[in-house]
Amino acid sequence: MGRLDGKVALIMGATRAGNMGQAIARRFIDEGATVVVSGRGREGLDAFAAETGATALPCDVRRRAEIETLADAVVARHGGLDIAVNAAATGALAPFEEETEEQVDEMLSIIFKGGLFFMQAMVGRMKRPVGRGGSIITVSSAVADIMSENHCSYMGAKAGLNHMTRFVAYEYGRHGIRANILSPGLTITPMLGAYDVPGMAEAYAREYPLGRIGTVDDVANAALFMAGDECFMTGETFHVTGGLTLRRNPTSAEIMASIAAAGAA
């Protein structure tokens, strides 16, 4: 018997093979949930659905009307909505004085506005007596709480998203809705792209008390607890970082030195 038997879950941001959204979706499927995956990329969603049996429904998180249509479709197909995970993200990073208006707009559009639109649609279908309550999980980042170079707009957008999630927890608990924040540290995912080079992970791992950086499976395991009925928590931040927030992220100079050392080895 699975821990999520009978639950209907929507995972936003599950378009790329091996990303956090897909890892969470797989974990939920393994535990018996009926899963709908969404995001902007149709091809990746369809491939994942064909492999796992999930339902693929594309949606642009930046478009409020599309999210409302998506939420209605999930309820119409599956009779309700119990779990909603927003793992949509973008990673356009730059030094503070060089951040462009386009980069800032992208951060705000996908992370902040998209997060707001997503939660508005989810509470509208979950709140009692229209719905049956449920769990909303915002996938954020440790840098919403600790510093990291060249991440200013990303950090700000994630911090704002976190505060909105806490508001939802405060406002909608009486409707049986829990809203929590899942904040990973550096995790090797497709979004990391060109930054995934020898030596970089080692630079970060030296700052993690548990001695390694996180995996998408670490994130999925935390999401499973947050999604289940045994989670008597709301408005909380789960730092899935191996203790990184006890220390700090490495500086750019330290990362470059680690990459150089790996190249020389």
Which residue in 154, 172, 204, 208 is the catalytic one? Answer: 154
Q: Edge-to-edge strands of the sheet including 55-56?
A: 55-56, 34-38, 8-12, 83-86, 134-139, 177-184, 237-240
208 is catalytic: no
Measured CA to CA, the distance from residue 231 to residue 235 in angstroms comes to 12
Q: Where are the alpha helices (DSSP H) in the chain?
A: 20-30, 42-52, 64-78, 101-107, 114-126, 152-172, 200-205, 216-227, 252-264
The terminus-to-terminus CA distance of the chain in angstroms comes to 49
Residue 136 contacts residue 175 (beta carbons within 8 Å): no
Q: Give the single-character DSSP code of 59.
A: -
Task: Give per-residue burial for 201-239: e unless 16+ CB within 10 Å, then b.
Answer: bbbbbebbeeeebbbbebbbebbbebbbeebeebbebbb
Angle 200-204-208 from CA coordinates, rounded to 5°: 155
- Active-site residues: which are they? 154
